[in-house]
Homo-oligomer: A and B are copies of this chain.
Amino acid sequence: MTKGVDNIERMVDILSSLPTIGKKTARRLTYYILKQNTEYANKFSSAILELVENVHLCEVCYNFTESQICKICDSEKRDKSKICVVEDPSDVSYIDNTNEFNGLYHVLHGVINPLNNINSEDLKIRELINRLQGVDEVILALNPNIESDITAQYLANLIKPLDIKVTKLASGLPLGTSIEFSDNATISRALEGRVLIR
């Protein structure tokens, strides 16, 4: 019956098209927006338009940026001899927020996945190879799963002949968990990658 309010249903449909948002949450968010003032709605609406209008890919690293070249690639302070390769733009912010890495990034925009028809040409791999001059280490910060492992191996095979060190993120027990609650594969990886205590 309340299904009759078309504008509400349309908003619920759009919000529930977002990942992790189900119909029930979408309805709750819609009612929340309805309770706000027009100014809030205007701000929300124009934020979406301006997001899609102003944000595009950096010409060097393919991360999202508002300028031609992103702030990280453009910075004088970053170590240009190291490139950290990630799957998605969002990974850049997660890694950069750790302040552990001061080099540059390169966003692949996915991993090789033949089952989903994603081949190496669909990713920013050629673009990565073309920017390796003066680079002495490529860190493959891909997610710990099979497709990403295959992609990492593919990249390593391409890059190692150029006499550049290729590394990947350590894989093992996450901090704050216990062995009891870790899955077999994680424990195997942790054992495999065991580190000598000096």
By a beta-carbon cutoff of 8 Å, the part of chain A in contact with chain B is 1-8, 10-11, 14, 18-21, 25, 27-34, 36, 38, 41-55, 63-66, 70-72, 88-90, 92-93, 96
A141 to chain B, nearest CB (A): 14
Given A1-B72, A41-B48, A46-B45, residue A55 in contact with residue B88 (CB < 8 A): no
How far does the Cβ of A100 sit from chain B's closest Cβ, in whole Å?
12
Number of this chain's copies in the complex:
2
- In the complex with contacts A41-B52, A51-B8, A18-B29 CB distance below 8 A: yes
Which B residue sits closest to A93, measured CB to CB?
Answer: B2
When the two chains form their complex, are residues A43 and B14 in contact, meaning their CB atoms are under 8 A apart? yes
A41 partner residues in chain B, CB cutoff 8 A: 48-49, 51-52
Please give 16 more A-B residue pairs, beta carbons under 8 A apart, in addition to A1-B92, A4-B70, A7-B51: A1-B96, A2-B72, A2-B96, A5-B55, A5-B70, A5-B71, A10-B50, A14-B43, A19-B29, A21-B29, A31-B64, A31-B88, A33-B48, A34-B52, A36-B52, A38-B52
Q: List 13 A-B contacts (CB under 8 A).
A: A2-B92, A7-B47, A10-B50, A18-B32, A20-B29, A21-B29, A31-B88, A33-B51, A34-B51, A38-B52, A41-B49, A45-B46, A45-B49
Contact A8 B96 (CB under 8 A): no
Contacts of A11 in B (CB 8 A): 47-48, 51
Tell me if A55 and B72 are in contact (CB < 8 A). no
